[in-house]
Amino acid sequence: MTERKVKNIFVQGPITSGFIAEKIQSHSTQKNIGGHSIFLGQVRADAISGNTVLAIEYTAYEEMALEMMHTIRESVFEKFELTCMHVYHSLGKIHAGEICLFVFTSSVHRKAAMDACEAVVERIKKELPIWGKELLEDETHQWKENK
């Protein structure tokens, strides 16, 4: 297996549809890919104790998160036959309706791409030191819990 370099997954602000489209389009020249799987995480306007979430402000222990993501990436490449994987997570204030997480996996066959994408999303939620402060309409906040 080839050792892959640590990649920066962080994007300041929301992940735009143009950015997502650009990443997808960049794979159209790769003729060995038969399937892609994409997960887009979007900020919800949840109702919490009579208040609505207007946005989530994401912060991270970046250096540790990047090292942990590298470990996740390597283990997923070992387990699934992927041709590539891209992960982007927002930092800063992301409003309800905006995209905050983009995971994109590709492989020769669809099943590996789909299974790997799900595995990566679950591990990001459980393992990375990324925190979300839910900003509520009454100008209070609470820390988001991943479930």
Please write the tens of the pLDDT for every residue from 107-122: 999 999 999 999 999 9
List of domains in the chain: 10-42+60-130 (3.90.1170.40)
Check residue 92 and give its pLDDT: 98
Distance (Å, whole) CA 25 – CA 33: 13
| Average per-residue pLDDT for the chain | 93
Please choose, from the candidates 120, 37, 112, 111, the residue with its C-alpha nearest in 3D space to the C-alpha of residue 71. 120
Of 145 and 83, more confident: 83
Q: Is residue 30 very low, low, confident or very high in pLDDT (cuts 50, 70, 90)?
A: confident
What's this model's pTM, rounded to 2 decimal places?
A: 0.92
Check residue 5 and give its pLDDT: 81
